[in-house]
Every structure is written in C-alpha cells, then in structure tokens.
Amino acid sequence: MLQLAYIRDNKEKVVDGLNKRRFAKAAEIIEEVIALDDQRKSTQAKHDQVLSESNALSKQIGMLMREGKKEEAEGVKAKTADLKTEGKELGEILSNCEDKLKELLYLIPNVPNNNVPEGGGADDNVVVYEHGTTPELPENAVPHWELIKSYDIIDFDLGNKITGAGFPVYKGKGARLQRAMINFFLDEAIKEGYVEVQPPIVINEDSGYGTGQLPDKDGQMYHIGEENFFLIPTAEVPITNMYRDVIVDVKDLPVKHVGFTPCFRREAGSWGAHVRGLNRLHQFDKVEIVEIHHPDNSYDALDRMCKHVQGLLEKLGLQYRVLNLCGGDMGFTSAQTFDMEVYSAAQKKWLEVSSVSNFETFQASRLKLRYRGDDKKMHLLHTLNGSALALPRILAAILENNQSEEGIRIPEVLVPYTGFDMIR
C-alpha cells in the first residue's frame, strides 16, 4: 500500500507510474485520495478542538458547584452536552472518512520502478537474456498431455473424478519426479543461505491484506466461508506474513526463507491449447523464496534471486529466457518483476515458470514491517519473492524436451532424487 506522505510528496511521480501501469483514472484517484486526506485532517482538528473545549468546561462545572453557582453550572452543563453531541458527530464523520481513505488506498497498485518498460501487456515485455538452444526432438514427438497418458504418470481424469478439472493425480514415476524436483529446489535454496519453513497453507483475511492479495485477487482465491479463511495462492503469503507487525533488527538483515507448499488458484483459464495439461492448474506445487532487505540493498538482492532461478534452469538443462515485465503486465503489488520462461519444444511456445519481484515498501506498509534506522526513527523494509520454482510447467518442459524413442530422460541433477534416469 502506498503511504499518504509518499503520495503527497511525489504526486506527479505516482500518477506517472500508475499511468505506466495503464491504471485507469490515475490522476483523478490520486486527487481524491489527497482530498479525502485533507478532509480527514480538518475533521480531526475540529474533533480534537471540540473534545478539548468539552473537557475544559467539564472541569468548570465542579468548581462552579463548589462555589454555589448552580445556575451557572447548569448552563455550562448544557454547553458541554452540545459539545459532546458535536464531538460524536465529528467522530463518526472522521471514522467514515478514514474508512473511505483506507478502501481507496487498498485499490491503488504499486508504483513501478524507473527501469520498468512502458507497455500495456505481455507483447510489450522486454527480453533481457536468453540461454540454451532448442532441443531436437524425434519426428513423433508429442506434447506432455499425450506423454503422461502413454507412460501413465499423471491422471487428469482421476483428478476430475476426485475433485474437478485442474486437480491432477501424480502417479508412480510422475509422483517421484515431482517429489524429486521439490527436494532439489529446496536443497539448492538452502545452499544459498535460505532458511526453510513449512508454513500453513490456509491464511486469515489479515494475511491476505498484508501481502496485497486482498482485495485485488479476492475472486481468484479459494475462500473457506465459515472461518473466513483462504487457501494460499503462493507460499509468499504465509512466509511474508510471519513478519507482520515486526520490527526487524538491522543486524538480522537480510531475512531469507524458502518454503514448499501446494498453491491454489481459482482462475485456471479459458479453453484452448495454452491451458491444456499442466500449463494451468487450480492446484499446483511450488517452492518459493522470500527475502526482506534494507531499502539500499533490495535491487542487488533482486538480481541475485533472478540468477538463483536461472541457475536452477541451467542445471535442469532447460532453454530459457528472462523478461523484464512492462508496467501493464506487472502484478498489483510489484515495483519490478522479471519472469523466467522455458521453451517447450513439443508445444513450440514459451512457458512462464518463475516470477521474481521486488515490492519495495508496498507490502511492508500494509504489514507494518519496519526497522530502526541510524536516525533512531522507524522505516519500512523492502520485501521480495520469487518462484524457485513452480513445478507444473517445469515438469511439462522436462517431459517434452527430453522425450526420445527409448523413453523420457531424467535431468542428471534429479537422478539422485528420483532413483531412476529414464521413464519408460
């Protein structure tokens, strides 16, 4: 959430940044925020003045009664009663103004970093790096949704029977390969200094608001009505919320966590080849890295996190590219995001497998996640997170790009985890 002081001090920058995002009526909404804040301030001043006058008159009543000036005391009582009524009315106006202001601030996305390119959608994202070459597949190569049937390693029909579309069942070597990737990704993160956590996969509403999933992604999250809980869309949410309302000691920075969780998203997408098979699911597994940094260091951290993800893709032997997302394609909370995509040789398309983002102070403002600076004042920290990695499309690319006449070759780094080097 953007801070009011930042909006006031950087109004033109905020409007320009929101326009870069293609955020509708940015200037009008920012003016409305400032006007509401002005109203809040003036109402607060009047409310404080009325309460001060009321308290001062209340003290006079006792003195007048002790002096035998009952009639004068009754007059002061009546005036005090009027002031209390006025104070109550002003309090209600103030509370209503604060609620409207908070609701409006929750609807405003983060301001993009200066290095975020202009653009309205995916076609305007900028490729900043490419690695690897497209594998040569046999003439009878098929996409992964055909391979999984041939080798009986993932069953979508069974998942549909148990739950519904978008909830696959991993079987045999498919399940073991899935588990192997999870353990490999966790081990690689731990080598890089990340501390592993196993967070809950169900969150409360405060956690959803804390990292910005609410109210922005309300319709995309699975809601548990009676308890007002939500199934997590990513481990970023519970892990980052571990530090809600926390003042982090500077000597404990950076904070680095990794966690594996299942993830749940209602928006599995429309019909078509781009969402077939593992390309888009309602439930999927993901290993997430989360970092908390001093503002001076967060963009160096973003670069290192991207390189960590790239290293995983190279160890898996996958062709990939890195995209700097344009303003119109970034997530609501992000100040800058780099996407990593792997190339699916069988589908002949790029598949997003990781997003690594710096949120700057946007989440920390909601979370009240702070540190005490050298000036002895409280300042907001920067939060970052990245997929390292999301499993479904990685699995799809491994299956498709490593298919041969003999079977599907397992990447060498995963063999110690799977216990086999081929799926036949």
Helix/strand/coil (H/E/C) assignment for every residue in 292-346: EECHHHHHHHHHHHHHHHHHHHHHCCCCEEEEECCHHHCCCCCCEEEEEEEEECC
List beta partners, residue 260: 287
Distance CA 43, CA 2 (A): 22
SS3 content of the chain, % helix, strand, coil (to 5): 50, 20, 30
Percent of the chain with pLDDT over 90: 91
Q: Could you tell me if 25 and 161 lie in one domain?
A: no
Q: Are 395 and 168 in contact (CB under 8 A)?
A: no
Distance CA 202, CA 390 (A): 19
Residue 403 tokens, joined: 């298919």
Give mean pLDDT, residues 344-364.
Answer: 97
Query: pLDDT tens, 152-166?
Result: 999 999 999 999 999
Q: Could you tell me if 213 and 101 lie in one domain?
A: no
Residue 293's SS3 state is strand
Q: Could you tell me if 126 and 97 lie in one domain?
A: no
Binding residues for ATP: 265-267, 352-355
Determine, yes or no, domain membership for 115.
Answer: no
Write down the pLDDT at residue 270: 47
Determine, yes or no, domain membership for 114.
Answer: no
Q: How many domains does the chain have?
A: 2
Has residue 32 got a pLDDT over 70? yes
Write down the pLDDT at residue 274: 61
Q: Could you tell me if 102 and 149 lie in one domain?
A: no
DSSP run (H or E) holding 145: helix 144-151
Determine, yes or no, domain membership for 150.
Answer: yes
Could you give the count of Cα atoms lying within 13 Å of 372 in the half-sphere of its Cβ? 4
Give mean pLDDT, residues 269-293.
Answer: 84
Q: Could you tell me if 55 and 195 lie in one domain?
A: no
DSSP run (H or E) holding 131: strand 126-131
Contacts (Cβ under 8 Å, ≥6 apart) of 100: 36
R_g over Cα of the chain: 28
The residue with tokens 């993160």 is: 189
Q: Could you tell me if 93 and 187 lie in one domain?
A: no
Q: What are phi and psi of 423, to 5 degrees?
A: -105, 115
Q: Could you tell me if 93 and 144 lie in one domain?
A: no
Q: Could you tell me if 335 and 245 lie in one domain?
A: yes
Query: pLDDT tens, 396-413?
Result: 999 999 999 999 999 999
Residue 300's SS3 state is helix
Determine, yes or no, domain membership for 117.
Answer: no
Q: Could you tell me if 211 and 320 lie in one domain?
A: yes
Band of pLDDT at residue 275, cut at 50, 70 and 90: confident
Q: Select from 77, 106, 135 the last residue of a domain.
A: 106
Buried b (16+ CB within 10 A) or exposed e, 268-299: beeeeeeebbbbbbbbbbbbbbbbbbbeeebb
Percent of the chain with pLDDT over 70: 98
Determine, yes or no, domain membership for 113.
Answer: no
Residue 299 tokens, joined: 């963009």
Contacts (Cβ under 8 Å, ≥6 apart) of 116: 20, 324, 325, 326, 327, 330, 335, 336
Q: Write the CATH number for 50.
A: 1.10.287.40
Binding residues: 234, 265-267, 288, 352-355, 385
Q: Could you tell me if 203 and 236 lie in one domain?
A: yes
Write down the pLDDT at residue 133: 95
Determine, yes or no, domain membership for 313.
Answer: yes
Has residue 280 got a pLDDT over 50? yes
Has residue 271 got a pLDDT over 50? no
Domain hosting residue 258, numbered range: 122-423
Write down the pLDDT at residue 61: 84
Contacts (Cβ under 8 Å, ≥6 apart) of 240: 210, 211, 290, 292, 363, 367, 383, 385
Distance CA 349, CA 251 (A): 45
Determine, yes or no, domain membership for 53.
Answer: yes
Binding residues for L-serine: 234, 265, 288, 385
Q: Are 385 and 240 in contact (CB under 8 A)?
A: yes
Q: Could you tell me if 89 and 152 lie in one domain?
A: no
Determine, yes or no, domain membership for 152.
Answer: yes
Q: Write the CATH number for 154.
A: 3.30.930.10
Mean pLDDT of the chain: 95
Q: What are phi and psi of 247, to 5 degrees?
A: -100, 110
Has residue 71 got a pLDDT over 90? no
Give mean pLDDT, residues 256-269.
Answer: 88
Q: Select from 75, 106, 137 the last residue of a domain.
A: 106
Q: Could you tell me if 79 and 163 lie in one domain?
A: no
The residue with tokens 């102070």 is: 361
Give mean pLDDT, residues 23-51.
Answer: 96
Give mean pLDDT, residues 373-388.
Answer: 97
Q: Select from 57, 81, 106 the last residue of a domain.
A: 106
Band of pLDDT at residue 104, cut at 50, 70 and 90: very high
- Residue 59 DSSP label: H
φ/ψ region of 245 (left if φ > 0, alpha if ψ in -120 to 50, else beta) reads left
